[in-house]
Amino acid sequence: MTMARFVAFLRGINVGGHRVTNEELATVFAELGLVDARPFLASGNVVFDAPGAESGSGDAIGAHLEHGLGDALGYAVPTFLRSAEHLRALASMKPFPPDALEGHGKPQVIFLRRPVTPSGQVALAALTPTDDLVVVDGAELHWLPVAGVGDTSLDLSALAGVVGPHTVRTRNTVDRIAAKFFA
């Protein structure tokens, strides 16, 4: 039987009054037929294996997870799935020149459902604050805010209007997941 490894980046876990333990997340994943679910940190990052899946079957698995998590938790949980291969490639990227990292906040990765369209890229450029850097890479945005995420003037609600649903993780979290589970 084939088995593919994925990481699910879940939006809305342990924010806005929605508290879910890592044990609860692992249980929901198991109940949905997913194997060896290992939550990482407490912010909705779950590495798991999908029996019978190929690495390219992420859309169907993501929809299955969203539906199952919504039923189990009682609220919508947008899910952004990445395959092992994709996460390894993402972790190997160096989207910003080293000198750009000085004087900025922590690098972030914004996970999207679909790649940004050309017209979306134009709207994104207009939305991005002058001192922040954003690099579009398929269904991810690499974001280097001028200060901390809480201090940026990038309007994340307006961003959703341009790129659709999304969730944000620090680049450090992405790198740590890649090193621990996908090396």
Number of neighbours of residue 161 by Cβ within 10 angstroms: 11
6, 54 Cβ separation under 8 angstroms = no
Q: What is the DSSP letter of 147?
A: S
What one-character-per-residue DSSP string does 82-121 give?
EEHHHHHHHHH---S-HHHHTTS---EEEEESSPPPHHHH
Tokens read off for 48: 């798991």
Q: How much is the pLDDT for 56?
A: 64
Give me the residues of the chain with pLDDT under 50, please: none
Q: What is the DSSP letter of 151?
A: G
Against a cut of 0.85, is the pTM above it? yes
Which among 65, 61, 56, 47 has a CA at the least distance from the CA of 179? 47
Q: How much is the pLDDT for 103?
A: 79
Domains of the chain: 3-85 (3.30.70.1280), 93-181 (3.30.70)
110, 121 Cβ separation under 8 angstroms = no
pLDDT in tens, 64-93: 999 999 999 999 999 999 999 999 999 999
Q: Which residue is listed with tokens 């979306």?
A: 120
Q: How much is the pLDDT for 156?
A: 87
Q: Residue 135: phi, psi to the nearest 5?
A: -115, 125
